[in-house]
A and B are shown apart, each in its own frame.
Chain A
Amino acid sequence: MTASLDILRGAWRNPRGRTGALILLIVALAALVGPVLLPDPLAQPDVLGAGRPPGLGHPFGTDQLSRDVLSRVVTGGRISLAVALLAVTLSVTLGATVGVVSGYWGGVIDAALMRLVDGALAIPRLFILLLVLAVWERVPVLALILLIGATGWFATSRLVRGEVLRLREEGYVRAAEALGARRRRIIFRHLLPNALGPLLVAATLGVGDVILLEAGLSFLGLGIQPPTPSWGGMILDSREVMISAPWTGIFPGLAIVITVLSANLFGDALRDAVDPRSA
């Protein structure tokens, strides 16, 4: 655990990492608190207020249904972040499990699992998700989270497997085995804590990827379903009014850019802290 604290501290010392972390905190805070302070994004106060450009009262303007774009961006952020965090938690857990099983047990299990991963990696994640999600007329949020999570662990499992293969030859793991430590103890006390750094990096970078992926799916109509606001869905809606009301699409896109960029900056700083050679 101290090792991962060191990594976090190292990333914090990196100016770009610190910027990323701070922006990410602000975004998370806005998503958490914002919906309470701002007008209800589903409320449509007046028909005459539709398509208003950014100005006083509506800093980001209003959309074609006279809804406040700022409050929709903030509420959409809450949903996008929640989906990303849950999906990434799931895929990191799956990746770590498969990686440890594959790396520590080896043999036939390892070979079978890694062939499966090879095959899965040959189909771009987007296409797997399109195929599965297309069966729903309206995709349930839970299914979206589970499926994004279930399709994101392939690369992580390889990473963890590699770490485990390296670590199990280390003296202290050998010593623990010689002392008769149980498998569970070796995995949870020796292998996983030492693979935590790369996992942390994968998770942070994964958050950015998943936000982009979810936005893309919503843009294709396969993600978060209207009227629930989502960043990708808002951009989809703005397609028809891009010429008359471009702000309805520009602001949700900027929200994605800022969030993903800060997640990636922080992820990079974490990676540099884990492996200083890559700096």
Chain B
Amino acid sequence: MTFAVALGLLFFLMRAAPGDPLFRLSADRPISPQEIKVLRARYGLDRPVGEQLGAFVGGLLRGDLGVSIEHGRPVTALLAERLPATMLLGGSVLLLNFTLGLWLGVRQAVRHGRREDRWLTTASLTGYAMPSFWLGLVLAWLVGVEWRLLPAAGMQDPLMDADAGWLARVGDILRHLILPTATMSIVSIAATMRYQRAAMLEVLRLPYIVTARSKGLSERLVTWRHGWRNALFPVITLFGLWLPILVSGSVFVEAVFAWPGLGSLAANAVGSRDYPLLMGASLLVAALVVVAGFLTDVAYALLDPRVRLG
């Protein structure tokens, strides 16, 4: 249902926007009215809006999102080709945020109000205030160009030996992965930390924590075994919220680091005003957000016996 509303909204936006998707073509070189007519017919732009919506939804159900104006290839094929790289990048950002971020959040809660807590809050908020494309450019310049420590662009070394072993290839990709992952994590880890900190603070106030302490258990056992287990729970909801942040962030970070994923595809589609491609990418993102939200609810219901799927 949510997805259907999102779909309708997207279509409405596309049609209601003042302008013609084909203007870009005519901006570069003169096109005769006949040619425009042919092109309009090819993309179905000459038919009534209702029919266009029907054709669009029909195509969607068949897994057909139209043809990219820029690349001249089916949008679905382009998206499928670029998805793995984005999932690799997004996955490593998630991994980092949900290990380091959670650990730091718990630490902050345990040292609540002390210098370390305040310092970590300021540091994470500073990262949160950074535009990812700026941080990416600065890191690429500093680490990649000035210090020559890590590759500043791409996902694979183009000069790589053709018969290099798989281990060397994986290592190469990992080296390319470090800077984009670091950039995205720095600008987003604050969200996980704050959530975990707040959840942990709630739990640490509860009487059973006092009981555990008075039993003489070590602070570490109280924090992690007794406290964290219950404070991890609210953090699950974050998973659903993460997807939009990751995908939006990937548009900038992938563009800066020339990472061959969905984000850089979308950024290029913006530059060339490739409407079908932009639309397809937005639809994919909307679908992913809805699915992630649903999975979060399911996970919640499975883990908490008090919640029932309704």
Q: Give B280-310 interface residues, CB cut-off 8 Å to A.
A: 281-282, 285-286, 289-290, 293
CB atoms of A131 and B14 under 8 A apart? yes
Q: Give B11-27 interface residues, CB cut-off 8 Å to A.
A: 13-14, 17-21, 23-24, 27
Known: A115-B1, A221-B271. A124 touches B133 (CB 8 A): no
**Bound: A171/B130 CA distance, A:** 45
Interface residues on B, range: 35 or more
B212 within 8 A of A: no
User: Which B residue's beta carbon lies closest to that of A231?
Assistant: B131
A249 within 8 A of B: yes
Q: Write the nearest CB–CB distance from B226 to chain A, whole angstroms.
A: 22
Interface of A is mostly: helix
Known: A116-B5, A122-B290, A127-B248. A235 touches B131 (CB 8 A): yes
Known: A128-B13, A249-B137. A257 touches B5 (CB 8 A): no
CB atoms of A123 and B23 under 8 A apart? no
B169 within 8 A of A: no
* Contact for B17 among A127, A135, A232, A261, CB less than 8 A: A135
CB atoms of B13 and A219 under 8 A apart? no
User: Which A residue's beta carbon lies closest to that of B273?
Assistant: A134
Q: Write the nearest CB–CB distance from B45 to chain A, whole angstroms.
A: 13
CB atoms of B133 and A122 under 8 A apart? no
CB atoms of B244 and A253 under 8 A apart? no
* Contact for B3 among A122, A124, A125, A261, CB less than 8 A: A122
CB atoms of B141 and A242 under 8 A apart? yes
CB atoms of B17 and A208 under 8 A apart? no
CB atoms of A131 and B145 under 8 A apart? no
Top 9 closest pairs, chain A to chain B, by CB: A119-B5, A135-B19, A253-B134, A260-B129, A261-B129, A124-B244, A126-B248, A127-B282, A119-B6
Chain B residues proximal to chain A, CB less than 8 Å: 1-6, 8-10, 13-14, 17-21, 23-24, 27, 118, 122, 125-126, 128-131, 133-135, 137-138, 140-141, 145, 198, 244-245, 247-248, 251-252, 255, 266-267, 270-271, 273, 275, 278-279, 281-282, 285-286, 289-290, 293
